[in-house]
Amino acid sequence: MYSKRIKIFVIISGFLLLICLARLVQMQVLSSSYSREKVAELKRQRGLAKSLKTVRGKILDRNGEVLAEDSPQFQLYISYSLTSIADERIQKSLILKALGKADGGVSVAEAKEEIHSRLEDLQLIINKCVQLGGEQESIEDKINYINRRVWNLRSFLAWRRNNPDARILKKYGNVNSIPLSVAMADFKKRFGDADHRINLAADVTDIAEMEKDWAFLELKTDDDIFAAQVEFMDVDGVAIRPSIHRYYPHGSYAAQTIGWVGPASDDRQGLFSDDRFTKYIAGDISGKEDGAEFICETLLRGRRGEVVYDIDRKLANRTDIEVGNNVSLTIDIKLQRRIAKYISNCKLNNYCQAPMGTIVIDVESGDILSMVSLPSFDLNKVRYTYGELVSDKNEPLRNRVINKAYPPGSSTKPLILVAGMEAGQLVRDGTISCPAERAGKGWPNCWYYKQFNMGHDEAWTNTGRNAIRGSCNVFFSRLASRVEPLILQEWLFKFGYGHNVVLAPEAILQAGVNRDFRQTQGQISNVPVRRTITSFDEIPPLKKSERRWFGMGQGSLMVTPFQIANAMATIARNGMYKKPRLFIEENSSVDTNSIDIGISSETLAVVLDGMHAVVSESGGTAYRQFRQVDFEKHGVTVYGKTGSTEGVEVAWFAGFAKDSKGRAIAVAVLVEGGQHGSTDASPLARSIIEFCIDAGYIGEKL
């Protein structure tokens, strides 16, 4: 019996011992592992997470030339502890504290000596920066900006921490929404003594802005960087640091098309709100207003990286930066540069300093090879000159090629001839008389009569081809008045007038981002249309009396240079309309097939014959300008139409050039303030065609 009890006791004791051992193992092994994990987690939570800047993708031209890229930049940084002494309020606070000190504290004289010494040190830094190429006024402005920014924040927090008016907090809800002016008004009301307010603000010393360094001088060359390292080697509070900035190698060329970047504003905050590595944070940039930078923001913007250190400053986690996608434009920047330089500096007429716009379209592909809008602006400086640019009456920020409408004048007469012949109102060799007499009341006179007191009847048989050649107003006003208003409008619509063309990349549209270039859809009715036109049914009707003015490109008819060039490209394709393209997308599924707008071969033959005569036959309105170049030697045939308008004075040339291999480019040239398309726009178009030959788009270089 006793031995049996002993056995039971031993068994129970052994079982309890096993339980204790198991618990000990759990405490030593499992709990230790769990504890280590908890400690590691706490280290991570109390450690430091450092965000790495996003890197935008590049914008490239059709040949891979860089138009925009993120580029390293070296900046000289300065601490607030150095700049603050230039703030008179800081100086005053030092004096006030000296006055309030008990025996043994800093005396007023010592405080003044400290102020004097620190100001001398700051001035020495400024002088060195001037030697590095900085402008003293600009440097001082930046120092004042730093001081003002930090002092405003210190004052705001001093107000917030000293029992502000509860009604203000309730009104705005979020303290960050309270305007500084409101807070300072209440601060002054509660603490009427200005010296007391200065002391309260000076007591606020626990904000990050007081500890951060501020960029205040760009070091532009390697020599500047080396010199700065030597000069500031032993200066506490001055440092040289690399940063990334957006660089535009071609400055002002294609500026409106490329677009620019600036600080990400509040209205962009929702764009990437679901991704903490992409959403905007303080100091980020985004595309502004217009251009590829703005339209392609979701493609260009990369994802920021992050480096996480634990409490012991050991690397705990790293998320690598993902560079944004590159975007390629159909623009040829070398061609763009050559055209822009030429038309802004040419001496051929009196209007080369006037606002102008030109566009070149590759006819087969619909690619926009060049789109020049002058005046322009430097993309590398726009963030600093924006105020001046906005107030400039010549609107350099506006892309006048696609975003400003003008009366087309006689440049639209080929389209009127198409409408009249296809509507059965004129046969191939039909004539409309232009006698040497004033037109009837309410009808436009022919420019030929006004200038020479003659009618076109005295120059030739006034057929459609000759009316194009000599730009007869009587012919086209009479022809347009024969065409039913809706039919006339429909033909203009088919050619691309009166509505926008989507230029944004397909990837943007598929992502549901509603961004495109700002465009002016123009007007092909009596009244302007405020909504975006998507189909011909939305076009208001045209008054019958307005047709005669449409016939010569005046009245209510308004178009953009882009629309005119696009219409010329349609004629060059023998009546096949194709949507122009500005972005190169290798995997695009958009249907790029042409649409036959229904021009008969007989009508096309008359229109082409007349447009060729404009530049190649005596009596053609651009003959004197184009006879100076033998394009036939290059295997190129040119078709054109000049135009000019009254009231709103503009000069036009519109047309296209084809070579023996079937390649073709369409061109439109606009000169604001120009009076004659024959002398003010034609010479520019002639040279642009020569540039396209040199660039290899058409013809053969000799």
Q: Beta strands 59-60 and 327-329: pairing type? A: parallel
Contacts of 226-231 with CB under 8 Å at 24 or more apart are: 227/131, 227/132, 228/76, 228/132, 231/128, 231/131, 231/132
- The radius of gyration of the chain from alpha carbons, rounded to an integer in Å, stands at 36
Q: How many of the other CB atoms lie within 10 Å of CB of 15?
A: 10
pLDDT in tens, 214-252: 988 888 888 888 888 888 988 899 998 877 889 999 999
Distance CA 374, CA 341 (A): 10
Residue pair 544/485 in contact by the 8 Å Cβ criterion: yes
For the chain, give the mean pLDDT. Answer: 88
Chain-centre distance for alpha carbon 365: 24
Can you give the pLDDT at residue 46?
47
**Backbone phi, then psi, for 688, in 5-degree steps?**
-60, -40
Can you give the pLDDT at residue 248?
96
What residues are paired with 246 via a beta bridge? 70
Residue pair 73/245 in contact by the 8 Å Cβ criterion: yes
Flag whether pLDDT at 125 surpasses 70: yes
Flag whether pLDDT at 591 surpasses 80: no
Residue pair 403/634 in contact by the 8 Å Cβ criterion: no
496 in helix, strand or coil?
coil
pLDDT in tens, 534-544: 999 999 999 99
Q: Do the first three CATH levels of 39-55+259-329 and 333-583+593-694 match, i.e. the same topology?
A: no
Can you give the pLDDT at residue 593?
75
Give the angle subtended at the CA of 675 by the CAs of 669 and 677, to the nearest 5°: 40
**Backbone phi, then psi, for 73, in 5-degree steps?**
-140, 140
Q: Looking at 277-286, 309-318, 324-333, 445-454, which range is the least confident one? A: 309-318
pLDDT in tens, 494-536: 999 999 998 989 888 877 788 899 999 999 999 988 889 999 9
Distance CA 281, CA 263 (A): 10
Q: Following DSSP, what letter does each residue of 51-97 receive, concatenated? A: EPPP-PPPEE-TTS-EEEEEEEEEEEEEEHHHHGGGSHHHHHHHHHH
Distance CA 409, CA 699 (A): 30
Q: Following DSSP, what letter does each residue of 497-548 receive, concatenated? A: TTS----S-HHHHHTT----------BSSSS---SPP-SGGGSPP--GGGHH
Question: Taking residues 573-590, what's their average pLDDT?
Answer: 86
Q: Which CATH superfamily is domain 333-583+593-694 in?
A: DD-peptidase/beta-lactamase superfamily (3.40.710.10)
Higher-pLDDT residue of 352 and 162 is 162
**Backbone phi, then psi, for 628, in 5-degree steps?**
-70, -15
Question: Taking residues 622-629, what's their average pLDDT?
Answer: 94
**Backbone phi, then psi, for 361, in 5-degree steps?**
-120, 130
Flag whether pLDDT at 554 surpasses 50: yes
DSSP 580: -
Can you give the pLDDT at residue 269?
47
Here the tokens at position 675 are 């009076």
Q: Looking at 100-109, 301-310, 443-452, which range is the least confident one? A: 100-109
Flag whether pLDDT at 30 surpasses 90: no
CATH for 39-55+259-329?
Answer: 3.90.1310.10
Distance CA 590, CA 578 (A): 12
Flag whether pLDDT at 4 surpasses 60: no
pLDDT in tens, 361-392: 999 999 999 999 999 999 999 988 888 999 99
Here the tokens at position 35 are 């504890």
DSSP 458: G
Question: Taking residues 181-196, what's their average pLDDT?
Answer: 93
Distance CA 469, CA 619 (A): 7
Higher-pLDDT residue of 487 and 47 is 487
Tell me the one-letter amino acid at 651.
A
pTM to 2 decimal places: 0.76
| Helical ranges in 400-533 per DSSP H | 413-422, 447-452, 464-470, 473-482, 485-494, 506-510
**Domain spans in the chain, listed from the N-terminal domain onward:** 39-55+259-329, 74-242, 333-583+593-694
Can you give the pLDDT at residue 589?
53
pLDDT > 90: percent of the chain: 64
